[in-house]
């Protein structure tokens, strides 16, 4: 494993301050005292991995990330179990996806073992920041990489910075949301960056979220870039439909983000009496199914909220439609609980998904 040098902070958070933060962490409000950093230099490769005090960075105003948006990220969580051990959930899937994202954005490729070592080292050092598991609290980890080279020409950068920061995350109540089916915007197009976890996709999505809010919805249901006909995903989450004849339907991979939560839930479907089916799904099929009752449950899934019940849709063509009686469905709640129980070590980990830290 890579050797990380450690420079300890001279101003650690006091126990009292940390406990106060963990009592009501919210999300992204507090950060652990250290971060992991690995710099990359073309010709030289990845430099010495280090853990340093959390602090601001000096960045040249011409740094390529500030102008042309070469940036990618990941999101995963560390969970504290009843026996006080700390675990990660399928971190190697995040490491592999980070490689794919880097390649798509023409960035330096971080070896998967360096990604995993960075996450492990930081969590081990900061394990006091992993909240106790009651109420499903966790430590959210944000690995990311930017093009740091000061250069205003348009080409891939020669220097990159990879870092991992961490923020305690409170009980994430998966508030049910309604989805706005926008006729005006697309998140991804064939050949575009939809399959990469890059900041630019999010920058491009915010105006559509504003449009969703103006139409009484919490989030956007993205459709395909060519016809606005096929369902894609929710922008920070993948989408799934439960049918009345026992299928768990989700759009095939292609221009959507390949979620770890999506993949995991598809693997668990059979244990909930559902047949997992990945195929193209049209907006009409969904809205007809919601109207007729053929689709009694809809939910979105991703690391942050695990599973978010979708209780309705709004679209210019068909107006507001409610899924079943507008409350979270039974399978939705069962699947969410099952996944969270695996993550916290309360349910059997048949697929070998969890990794102990330290
Ligand atoms: C991160 C992300 C997801 C969810 O992926 P998980 O690995 O399950 O957290 C879904 N869609 C988009 C666009 C994302 O960026």
Long-range CB contacts (within 8 A, 24+) of 316-323: 316/181, 316/183, 318/287, 320/178, 320/216, 321/287, 321/290, 321/291, 322/290, 323/290, 323/295, 323/296, 323/297, 323/298
- Are 222 and 164 members of one domain? no
Question: Percent of the chain scored above 70 by pLDDT?
Answer: 99
Listing DSSP states for 308-345 in one string gives EEEEEEEETTTEEEESTTSS--HHHHHHHHHHHHHHTT
CA of 157 to the centre of ligand 1 (A): 26
Q: Is pLDDT above 80 for 1?
A: no
**What is the atom index within ligand 1 of the atom nearest the CA of 261?**
8
> Does 128 lie in the same domain as 259?
no
Residue 61 covered by a domain? yes
The CATH number of residue 21's host domain is: 3.30.470.10
Domain extent for 316 = 177-343
What was the pLDDT predicted at 143?
Answer: 98
Final residue in a domain of this structure, among 130, 152, 169? 169
Shared domain for 10 and 153, answered yes or no, is yes
* Structure confidence by residue, pLDDT tens digits, 182-210: 999 999 999 999 999 999 999 999 999 99
Give the CATH number of the domain where residue 246 resides: 3.20.10.10
Please give the distance, rounded to the nearest whole angstrom, from the Cα atom of residue 236 to the centre of ligand 1. 5
Kindly indicate the confidence band of residue 173, based on its pLDDT and cuts at 50, 70 and 90.
low
8 Å CB contact between 291 and 324: no
If asked whether residues 61 and 163 sit together in one domain, one would say yes
How far does residue 13's CA lie from ligand 1's centre (Å)? 31
Predicted pLDDT at 48: 97
- Report yes or no on 80 lying in a domain: yes
Residues 133 and 183 in one domain: no
Q: With 70 as the cut, is the pLDDT of residue 171 above it? A: yes
Domain boundary among 116, 141, 169: 169
The more confident residue out of 174 and 3 is 3
251/300 Cα distance (integer angstroms) = 12
Same domain, 212 and 101: no
284 and 156, same domain (yes or no) = no
Same domain, yes or no: 160 and 182:
no
Residue ranges lining ligand 1, Cβ < 6 Å: 75, 197, 233, 235-238, 257, 259-262, 302-303
Note whether 158 and 304 are same-domain residues.
Answer: no
Residues 189 and 144 in one domain: no
Last residue of a domain, one of 133, 148, 169: 169
Instruction: Look up the pTM and report it.
Output: 0.97
Q: How many domains does the chain fold into?
A: 2
**Domain membership flag for residue 355:** no
Whether residue 89 is predicted with pLDDT greater than 90 in this model: the reply is: yes
Pair (64, 193) in one structural domain: no
230 assigned to some structural domain: yes
Per residue in 115-166, pLDDT (tens digit) is 999 999 999 999 999 998 777 899 999 999 999 999 999 999 999 999 999 9
């Amino acid at each position: 494993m890579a050797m990380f040098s450690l420079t300890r902070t001279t101003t650690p958070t006091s126990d009292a301050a940390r406990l106060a933060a963990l009592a009501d962490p919210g999300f992204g409000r507090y950060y652990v005292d250290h971060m992991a950093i690995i710099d990359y230099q073309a010709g030289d490769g990845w430099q010495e991995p280090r853990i340093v005090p959390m602090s601001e960075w000096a960045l040249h105003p011409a740094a390529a990330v500030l102008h042309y948006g070469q940036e990618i990220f990941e999101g995963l969580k560390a969970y504290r179990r009843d026996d006080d051990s700390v675990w990660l959930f399928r971190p190697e899937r995040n490491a592999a996806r980070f490689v794919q994202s880097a390649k798509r954005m023409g960035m330096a490729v971080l070896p998967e073992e360096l990604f995993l070592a960075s996450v492990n080292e930081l969590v081990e050092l900061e394990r006091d920041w992993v909240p106790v598991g009651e109420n499903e609290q966790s430590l959210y980890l944000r690995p990311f990489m930017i093009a740091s080279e000061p250069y205003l020409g348009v080409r891939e950068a020669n220097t990159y910075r990879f870092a991992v920061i961490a923020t305690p995350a409170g009980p994430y109540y998966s508030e049910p949301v309604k989805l706005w089916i926008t006729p005006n915007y697309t998140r991804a197009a064939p050949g575009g960056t939809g399959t990469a976890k890059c900041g630019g996709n999010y920058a491009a999505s915010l105006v559509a979220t504003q449009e969703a809010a103006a139409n009484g919805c919490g989030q956007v249901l993205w459709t395909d870039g060519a016809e606005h006909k096929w369902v894609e995903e929710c922008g920070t989450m993948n989408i799934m439909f439960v049918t009345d004849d026992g299928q768990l339907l989700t759009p095939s991979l292609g221009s959507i983000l390949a979620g770890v939560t999506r993949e995991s839930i598809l693997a668990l479907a059979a244990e909930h009496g559902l047949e997992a089916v990945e195929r193209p799904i049209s907006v009409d099929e969904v809205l007809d199914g919601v109207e007729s009752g053929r689709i009694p449950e809809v939910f979105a899934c991703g690391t942050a909220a695990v599973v978010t019940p979708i209780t309705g849709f709004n679209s210019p063509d068909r107006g507001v439609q409610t899924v079943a009686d507008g409350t979270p469905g039974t399978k939705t709640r069962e699947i969410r609980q099952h996944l969270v129980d695996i993550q916290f070590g309360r349910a059997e980990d048949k697929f070998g998904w969890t990794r102990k830290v330290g």
